[in-house]
Amino acid sequence: MTNTTTKYIFVTGGVSSSLGKGIIAASLAKLLQSQGYRTTIQKLDPYINIDPGTLNPYEHGECYVTDDGAETDLDLGHYERFLNVPTSQANNVTTGRIYQSVIDKERRGEFLGKTVQVIPHITDEIKHRIQILGKSGEYDIILTEIGGTVGDIESLPYVEAVRQLKWELGNENALVIHLTLIPYLSAAGELKTKPTQHSVKTLMESGVQADILVCRTEHELNDGIRTKLARFCNVKKESVIQSIDASTIYDVPNMMLEEGLDKVVLNQLQLEAHTPDLTSWNNFTEKLKNPKSDIVIGLIGKYVELQDSYKSILEAFIHAGAANEVRVKVVSIHSEFLDVQNVKLKIENLDGVLVAPGFGERGIEGKIEAIRYVREHNIPFFGICLGMQMAVIEFSRNVLNLHKANSSEMDELTPFPVIDLMEAQKLITKKGGTMRLGSWECNLLENSKVATIYNKNIIHERHRHRYEFNNDFKDQIENSGMLSTGCNPQTGLVEIVEIPSHPWFIGVQYHPEYKSTVANPHPLFLSFIKAALSYKINKQL
């Protein structure tokens, strides 16, 4: 890139929430990255929580964790999966964090007795946060997704900050993409543009003119509708971009390429457009759409009715499935309704089982019953975080005969706390941001299954937990056939357990799903899917 000035693209949403701002932002960023521009994306969330770490998954879906330990919005997972570039604390900003920073400055006397106001103090803090990544010198283009919908009270300070930045940076260095909805009225048989017109008008009332419209629609936008939107919304006709419903989110970059979104953006930012190199991306989508076989994986958790709760796991299955040329059908099984009477019926026809992460005691006995069944019947098993802990409890109860074995999270009085609160957590009373978070080193046992899978002896994976494998029981458990094959070198914390006598039985304390991307599917997911396929083939013989 010849211009040394960092360019900014702001993505706002109108008419309705859940239109897919994160996917559009990630897709555009992918197109820009594939043309040689160093690109990243950040998310501005208008809620007053400091971060989503204490939010119930029913409220906000999955909490995504970065290498530097930030608990962030799940959209950052999309950014990493599309771009294969790690995000950080700087990529996610919340209103809570903005106000906390400003109030802390006021308490320190940094405003010299002045009245602290939304303008300029809050908006200045927002502008500062937006530009942190840009001033690092690492990126040519930064996309900023603004959460919520234009017109929301809580979004107003962000829109005002965008208005100021557009004025300060100049039109050649900043632009606004407005994602909106074009509803189809089946009774009239028509697409309606009026909601988009009102949404653009609302944005303009805050002093921000959308430069590009991306229109979510279930039906093709004809030339007349595009002309009408351009005329009424003050944009060029080529800046009215159709985003029709896709069969998979991984089709969206190519759909935006066909619509010319990247060219319109680069033209306005006075940057040179190149032919995007999407070779590896298209190889992935080709394999995704043309699998050679199918497998069925049971995802066992307590938030299964809300797919966003396990978003990264589901996407990791897609990455690993495509790499193995397998279509992975995921069957969600609510652990609260699993018991010894129905576990066989629910699991016997599956090709593999993943027991999901989580917190609290609800549904854990169902998870334990499922793990017992897959262990005894040699069905491939993958346990993540709480899933790994449940595997240790199940093994302790049913192999070591420690019938009251449990986690001290679930039963403080258990005589066999095979899972216990980490020492570093015992004096902590505040919940937010106090878990073991971010990337930690793990040494793998030589010749173990995981060492073979990773093809290395030292790995770094992301964590989010308070409880850990209790090393007081390590020898007893290992002597009975469950090995600790991955440990943190500083603390001795057991990170990985596996049963060598089982075809594929691995539990990990960390969250491998956070590091799976289109370009680099996670090796554990790759191996698990391969094992599930082998199990299915052998079962049919």
Give the residue numbers marked as catalytic. 385, 511, 513
Q: How far apart are alpha carbons 496 and 388 in whole angstroms?
A: 8
Q: Give every CB contact of residue 479 below 8 A, 6+ residues apart in sequence.
A: none
Beta strand pairing call for 326-334 and 293-301: parallel
Phi, psi (rounded to 5 degrees) for 104: -60, -40
Q: How far apart are alpha carbons 468 and 466 in whole angstroms?
A: 7
Q: Which two structure tokens, joined as six digits, stand for 413?
A: 């009085």
Q: How many C-beta atoms lie closer than 10 Å to residue 423's C-beta?
A: 10
Q: How far apart are alpha carbons 110 and 106 in whole angstroms?
A: 6
Q: How far apart are alpha carbons 351 and 298 in whole angstroms?
A: 8
Q: Which two structure tokens, joined as six digits, stand for 490?
A: 């500083």
Q: How far apart are alpha carbons 390 and 406 in whole angstroms?
A: 8
- SS3 (DSSP) at 142: strand
Q: Which two structure tokens, joined as six digits, stand for 483?
A: 């090995």
User: For residue 148, how many C-alpha atoms fall within 13 Å in the half-sphere facing its CB?
Assistant: 18
Check: CB of residue 345 under 8 Å from CB of residue 471.
no
Q: How far apart are alpha carbons 313 and 512 in whole angstroms?
A: 9
* Locus of tokens 């030292």: 458
- Which regions of 377-427 does DSSP assign to beta strands (E)? 381-384, 405-407, 416-421
Q: How far apart are alpha carbons 293 and 324 in whole angstroms?
A: 9
